[in-house]
A and B are shown apart, each in its own frame.
Chain A
Amino acid sequence: MDTVTSDQVQIMMERAGLKLSDERIENLTNLLEEYRLRLEVLYSIDLEGEETAGVFPA
């Protein structure tokens, strides 16, 4: 899994409509980097045929 850069984080935040300070972008990028190993675990799971099931009101 590639490292996400501060520029990419900024684009993602702006896409959501948020303009964050450089400091916040930097902190967020660092947190995401700390999270990278955990996300690798997530993608290493053998999900076989699992779906995301819709749930509808009774």
Chain B
Amino acid sequence: MGENGDQTHYLTISQASRLIKAKELSPVELLRAFLERIEEADGKVKSYVTLLADSALEEARTTEIEIGKGRYKGPLHGIPMAHKDLYDTKGVRTTGQSKVHEHRVPDEDATVIHRLREAGSVLLGKLAMFEFAMGGPETSLFEAARNPWNLDYVTGGSSSGSGAAVAAGFCMGSLGSDTGGSIRGPASYCGIVGLKPTYGRVSRFGVIPLSWSLDHCGPMTWTVEDTAFILQAISGHDPKDPASSRVPVPDYSEALREDVNGLVIGIPKHYCYNTDGGIEPETISVVDKALRELEGLGARVEEVNMPSLAYTPVVNNVIAMSEAFNYHLPNLKAQLQNYGETFIDRLLIGGVFTAADYVQAQRARSKISREFSQIMQRVDLIAMPTQTTAPSTFEEFKPAAVMLGPSFMAPFNETGMPAISVPCGFNKMGLPIGLQLAGRPFDESTVLRGAYTYQQHAKWYEKRPPI
């Protein structure tokens, strides 16, 4: 790997796992490299809200013993990961980055955390986020994570710490959550890979909800290959999650071949290349170049017409805010003063949407899903920029604009389709831009294939932030 390839904390999961399996790299040595890196640089980035140095060292020693005895569990064995502070971790505070849960300590792991432990990964800590997965960088508890590419700029959210920590080499992978783009958005802004799987593919049990029918859990990593490893470990039916699917889980690594021959990629340019809607010309230019490259690699890119995209933002907002308001109502009554202003400003509108608004939005959602399903009979993937613009500074960031503006990510929460953000370049300020690829429900394999092929060709992973 490029210019930073000799630094242990910049190894990918794929690279580290090969070394660990061959006993050329000790999980304890790997963990110490991350602890040193975090101490050296996270004071500026502020991605961690809880660092579990002692318990992580103990876990790393355990994995070292297991591997030494020939009990190698797979590519995540001995791999240090940290997760959005939305995921319940047994015995470790899980706050949702809110004073409301300042002292909350779960007595059970979230299902996906348990699955990662079973796969042998090491829990390094919990990461910063937007309060209760919505709002903005400023919260009622802990400082905001900063973009490692330029500390004056936001990471995007709500999985802000996850985006920053993976980009800066503070962990090898992270679980984020996504209700309207909260995995893909920070993945795009931090120059990493973020996958929102199909709704029901990955259990939501033990993850503090924002909006039950829109919430998705998924991996955030440096490479597509690493995302496939984590997805493999966390996917599958969970009886504790009422929305969990029984659709069999394929071997996602089989999708990782550098080949997009014959893949048809649809792009709704009428929507996502429309500068009247606030989309930056530079973002369009960078994403368009990436699509030309995919064409050069054998894909066919064609324009598609998707008129329902125009109302996907309002549908997402009405459903998400209504469900979120309902979830938070008991705590709103009991401790309103402990909620952060940025979060409350957005949440309360869920209490003034009417039942008619909510039903209208859900019916519109059915129409959107129907239209997307018809499009997916013609194309294998839908492509769009992940974000409408590159990252802004903290001063420029306006949570209301995020709420009221267009979104290229929200449609795939509404339809439940899998969607990935993969880095595809930088703007003039040196800030990352992401390409989003979305696929048919439960066809993460094609999504991974498209993203992997592009990433291996473009090699943006060779450049790390200057921190």
Contact = CB atoms under 8 A, between A and B. Distances in A.
A9 B352 CA distance: 7
Contacts, number: 78
A7 to B, nearest CB: 12
B345 A41 contact: no
A31 B243 CA distance: 32
Main secondary structure of the interface of B (DSSP, over half): helix
A58 to B, nearest CB: 6
Interface of A: 4, 9, 12-13, 16-18, 20, 24, 27-28, 31-32, 34-35, 38-39, 41-43, 45, 47-48, 50-53, 55, 57-58
Interface in B348-369: 348-349, 351-352, 357, 359-364, 366-367
B301 to A, nearest CB: 29
29 contacts: A4-B352, A9-B352, A13-B351, A16-B329, A17-B333, A18-B329, A18-B332, A18-B336, A18-B351, A20-B336, A20-B348, A27-B345, A31-B349, A38-B317, A38-B404, A39-B318, A39-B357, A41-B311, A42-B311, A42-B314, A42-B357, A42-B360, A42-B361, A43-B360, A45-B364, A47-B364, A53-B366, A57-B242, A58-B246
A30 B6 CA distance: 54
Contacts of B404: 34-35, 38
Interface residues of B, number: 33
Interface string B323-345: 00100010011001000000011
B351 A45 contact: no
B349 A35 contact: yes
A34 B243 CA distance: 34
B313 interface: yes
